[in-house]
Chains A and B, each alone.
Chain A
Amino acid sequence: MSGKEKKTVKTVIDGKEYAFPQGTTILEAAKSVGIEIPHFCYHPGLSIAGACRMCLVEIEKMPKLQISCHMTVDDGMVIHTNNERVKKARKAMLEFHLVNHPLDCPVCDQGGECNLQIYYMMHGNYISRLRENKVKKTKKAFQIGPHVMLDQERCVLCSRCVRFCQEISKSNELGIFQRGDREEIDVFPDMQLNSPYSANVVDICPVGALLDKDFRFKTRAWYLESADSICPRCSRGCNIEIHYNLNRPWKNEGRRLARLKPRCNLEVNDWWVCDEGRYSFKFIDDDNRIEGPLVRTDGKARNTGFKEALELAAESLRNSAASTDVEIAVLVSPRAANEELYLLKHVFSEQLPGTRLVFSSATPFEPTEDDILRKKDKNSNTRGAELMGLTPDSAQVWSLSELKDAVLAGEIGALYICYHDITGLPEEFSAGWAEALERIPLVVYQGTNTCPTSEKAQIIFPAAAFAEREGTVTNFEGRVQIQQKVFEPLSEALPGWQIIQSLGVALGGSYEYESAEEVFADLAKNEPAFAGLSYEKIGSGGFVAKDAKA
């Protein structure tokens, strides 16, 4: 809450007195003191619907039960969230919600994370009194958009998805059609739920009515573990949870990463994430991952192990540096973590002084942007590179086209490429590069996946993907956020900072960082923009770097 200090009011909830800011809803107030009130339709990011009647509570001196999602706390209010009368009302509401529900939990993908299931076990648990036939709806397992599957029978008509489409994505595809027991969620006839934010309706659906087509039937929700991370797909840096499965490799074709879910951060992405970001993780478990360090001789790539590849790279780079006619260039990636960028900057300037840094924020992705979340810059850490002086704003750093001119003039003896697939970029950036790469005597590629650019490299280092290493990225407004290490890197891959450090050692330097956090501690000491920051300070919400606003 910004602006004026709000008045606090004293309210009794379940026999205990608390102070809350005036205007807090009873549901939120109770939640803040650890009392969960069941609800379907209420969502903190959406308007209040008051549709599900699950959050009824008793307020003394009020004749009827009140919905706690809408009623606000006030001085002297005495609220009961769990007395016999409330419990009875909840049970009755659940009975209504379940009248036409198909009870197909065993084949429902929401099973295990379904509010209807959870609330029934906690608050319902009755023997059905229903003798009538259930009302059948028309659309079951029906695809209504590129990412979303609809099952009308499972719907409890909370209208969260409809409100999301009205208020957040403003695309208005969904509505509640028909009336009474025939009411159903659907898209307008012949329309698709295809806004760039469509899959958020799956997250907010409290039941199994809207499901993620990509994740459906891949694995059960209770087999998944979760770790906090930051979406790598654009410079917004949306906070996400990575849901993964390591113990049951026979599920989901052995893919470790099962799905990404948005994680609420009111400073960055609220409760949402765009579809581009949500499905951006496929490369991590892709078949084309680079699994070991490769050295290519006579067109054949061979896994030599890290030691040999590093030594060869160091020797070749040294030879190149010894020549006065040619320069060494490093193509820095705005997708690399701050720690990696910091080491890159230091290792090359200390071990191979005069190395030319090159920076490009070009990506193969369409530069989509809107005023909800998506940013045009599809890199996670352009701002971090900028704050460390690694972008062409600083005179010594080249752009991709300056590099190409130098390559074509025969001035580049060796090129170290981080993550960029130069030949896979849009035409304006990639033009001429396929031939240009052939003209560089030594190309070293460090990346996660095999690509046409890596195919042209003589030495290839397998780097860990963002979910396989710890690190920080800086979003467009200068917020430094942590990407946790979720699982081990695939095969022999190593975190980027570790590869650079080992290369530095092979080049004769002494670098002895044990973890990304240690690198960051040095980074914070030496880079003024990051002064005073630490992993602890960044925490789960991120921290805006100093001078970042300038």
Chain B
Amino acid sequence: MSVSFPEKDRKLVEEMIRHYPHKKSAIGDVLYLAQKHFGYITPEVELYVASLLDLPASYVHQVVTFYSMYLKKPVGKYLIMLCDNVSCLLCGAEDLLGRIKEKLGIEVGETTQEGKFTLWTVECLGACEQAPVMMINDKLYGNLTPDKLDRLLDSLE
């Protein structure tokens, strides 16, 4: 197998497996770790994870394809996830979306050429009190305005 975790992450996997009564239950955690380490999850990575957890590769592929937040393809350094559900739309998410598209020159689902930004629209992020909201990687940004959005995007290296 050509992909594998470094020693440190392999220890983490063992730790994750210990959290559950069945080895197979650690699949969510291990896949997320794999995504962090490899950037996205290819069939090769699935085979590796399957070997770590004694699972059939097809089972791992079922889990990976079921959850949309396991990345099957590479994304930019910053993954922008803009909510396009009702609260955010009422508070101006549509304008924000247009603004991002124009500023970055990409459509939803695309990545900028230099590989810095990827734009997604997502379902409710559970923060309607701060609508409109978006996430960039793991961080949530609320009460967005076009100005705030500009400043935010410009501040990212």
Are A179 and B65 in contact, CB atoms less than 8 angstroms apart? yes
Main secondary structure of the interface of B (DSSP, over half): helix
Most A-side CB within 10 Å, residue of B46, B56, B66, B68 = B56
Are B59 and A172 in contact, CB atoms less than 8 angstroms apart? yes
Min distance, Cβ B39 to any Cβ of chain A, angstroms = 18
Stretch at the interface among A105-113, A188-196, A250-258, A518-526: A188-196
Contact A174:B58 (CB < 8 A) given known A179-B65, A179-B66: yes
Partner of B57, one of A162, A176, A179, A191: A191
Chain A contacts of B57 at CB under 8 A? 172, 188, 191
- Give complex CA distance A178, B67 in Å: 8
- Give complex CA distance A188, B57 in Å: 7
Are A175 and B43 in contact, CB atoms less than 8 angstroms apart? no
Chain B contacts of A177 at CB under 8 A? 61-62, 65-66
**Is the C-beta of A187 less than 8 angstroms from some C-beta in chain B?**
yes
**Is the C-beta of A228 less than 8 angstroms from some C-beta in chain B?**
no
Chain A contacts of B62 at CB under 8 A? 175-177
Are B66 and A175 in contact, CB atoms less than 8 angstroms apart? no
- Give complex CA distance A162, B59 in Å: 10
Min distance, Cβ B55 to any Cβ of chain A, angstroms = 9
- Give complex CA distance A187, B46 in Å: 14
Proximity bits, B40-60, A CB within 8 Å = 1, else 0: 000100100000000011110
Partner of B58, one of A173, A178, A179: A173
Chain A contacts of B58 at CB under 8 A? 162, 165, 172-175, 187-188, 191
Are B59 and A189 in contact, CB atoms less than 8 angstroms apart? no
Are A189 and B65 in contact, CB atoms less than 8 angstroms apart? no
Most B-side CB within 10 Å, residue of A165, A179, A188 = A188
Min distance, Cβ B41 to any Cβ of chain A, angstroms = 12
Are B56 and A189 in contact, CB atoms less than 8 angstroms apart? no
Contact A189:B66 (CB < 8 A) given known A172-B56, A172-B57, A174-B58: no
Q: Within residues 192 to 247 of chain A, which ones have a CB less than 8 A from any CB in chain B?
A: none
The count of chain B contact residues (Cβ–Cβ below 8 Å) is 12
Contact A190:B43 (CB < 8 A) given known A172-B56, A174-B58, A175-B59: yes
Min distance, Cβ B23 to any Cβ of chain A, angstroms = 16
**Is the C-beta of A166 less than 8 angstroms from some C-beta in chain B?**
yes
- Give complex CA distance A190, B46 in Å: 13
Chain A contacts of B68 at CB under 8 A? 179
Chain B contacts of A172 at CB under 8 A? 56-59
- Give complex CA distance A483, B59 in Å: 41
Min distance, Cβ B137 to any Cβ of chain A, angstroms = 23
What residue in chain A is nearest B58 (Cβ atoms)?
A: A175
- Give complex CA distance A467, B66 in Å: 48
What residue in chain A is nearest B46 (Cβ atoms)?
A: A188
Most A-side CB within 10 Å, residue of B46, B58, B62, B68 = B58
What residue in chain A is nearest B66 (Cβ atoms)?
A: A179
Min distance, Cβ B31 to any Cβ of chain A, angstroms = 15
Chain B contacts of A175 at CB under 8 A? 56, 58-59, 61-62
Are B61 and A188 in contact, CB atoms less than 8 angstroms apart? yes
What residue in chain B is nearest A179 (Cβ atoms)?
A: B66
- Give complex CA distance A187, B58 in Å: 7
Chain B contacts of A179 at CB under 8 A? 65-68
- Give complex CA distance A174, B62 in Å: 10
Chain B contacts of A187 at CB under 8 A? 58
Are B65 and A188 in contact, CB atoms less than 8 angstroms apart? no
- Give complex CA distance A189, B43 in Å: 7
- Give complex CA distance A172, B47 in Å: 13
Min distance, Cβ A318 to any Cβ of chain B, angstroms = 65
Are B56 and A166 in contact, CB atoms less than 8 angstroms apart? yes
Chain B contacts of A191 at CB under 8 A? 57-58
- Give complex CA distance A174, B57 in Å: 9
Are B43 and A178 in contact, CB atoms less than 8 angstroms apart? no
Proximity bits, A149-192, B CB within 8 Å = 1, else 0: 00000000000001001100000111111110000000111110
- Give complex CA distance A189, B64 in Å: 13
What residue in chain A is nearest B62 (Cβ atoms)?
A: A175
- Give complex CA distance A226, B58 in Å: 36
Proximity bits, A474-501, B CB within 8 Å = 1, else 0: 0000000000000000000000000000
- Give complex CA distance A187, B56 in Å: 12
Min distance, Cβ A523 to any Cβ of chain B, angstroms = 49
Chain A contacts of B56 at CB under 8 A? 166, 172, 175
- Give complex CA distance A189, B72 in Å: 12
- Give complex CA distance A178, B66 in Å: 5
Proximity bits, B62-85, A CB within 8 Å = 1, else 0: 100111100000000000000000
Q: Within residues 447 to 471 of chain A, which ones have a CB less than 8 A from any CB in chain B?
A: none
What residue in chain A is nearest B65 (Cβ atoms)?
A: A177
- Give complex CA distance A188, B42 in Å: 11
- Give complex CA distance A324, B88 in Å: 106
Chain B contacts of A165 at CB under 8 A? 58
Chain A contacts of B65 at CB under 8 A? 177-179
Min distance, Cβ A169 to any Cβ of chain B, angstroms = 12
What residue in chain B is nearest A171 (Cβ atoms)?
A: B56
Min distance, Cβ A151 to any Cβ of chain B, angstroms = 19
- Give complex CA distance A166, B65 in Å: 19
Chain A contacts of B46 at CB under 8 A? 188
- Give complex CA distance A177, B60 in Å: 10
What residue in chain B is nearest A165 (Cβ atoms)?
A: B58
- Give complex CA distance A172, B68 in Å: 23
- Give complex CA distance A134, B129 in Å: 37
Most A-side CB within 10 Å, residue of B61, B67, B68 = B61
Min distance, Cβ A368 to any Cβ of chain B, angstroms = 22
Chain A contacts of B61 at CB under 8 A? 175, 177, 188-189
Q: Within residues 317 to 373 of chain A, which ones have a CB less than 8 A from any CB in chain B?
A: none
Question: Residues of A at under 8 Å CB distance from B?
Answer: 162, 165-166, 172-179, 187-191
The 8 closest A-B pairs by CB, nearest first: A172-B56, A175-B58, A189-B43, A177-B65, A175-B62, A188-B58, A188-B57, A179-B66
- Sampled A-B contacts (5; CB under 8 Å): A162-B58, A166-B56, A175-B59, A188-B58, A188-B61
A179-B66, A191-B57 are known contacts; what are 13 more A-B pairs with Cβ within 8 Å? Answer: A162-B58, A172-B57, A174-B58, A175-B56, A175-B61, A177-B61, A177-B62, A179-B65, A179-B68, A188-B43, A189-B43, A189-B61, A191-B58
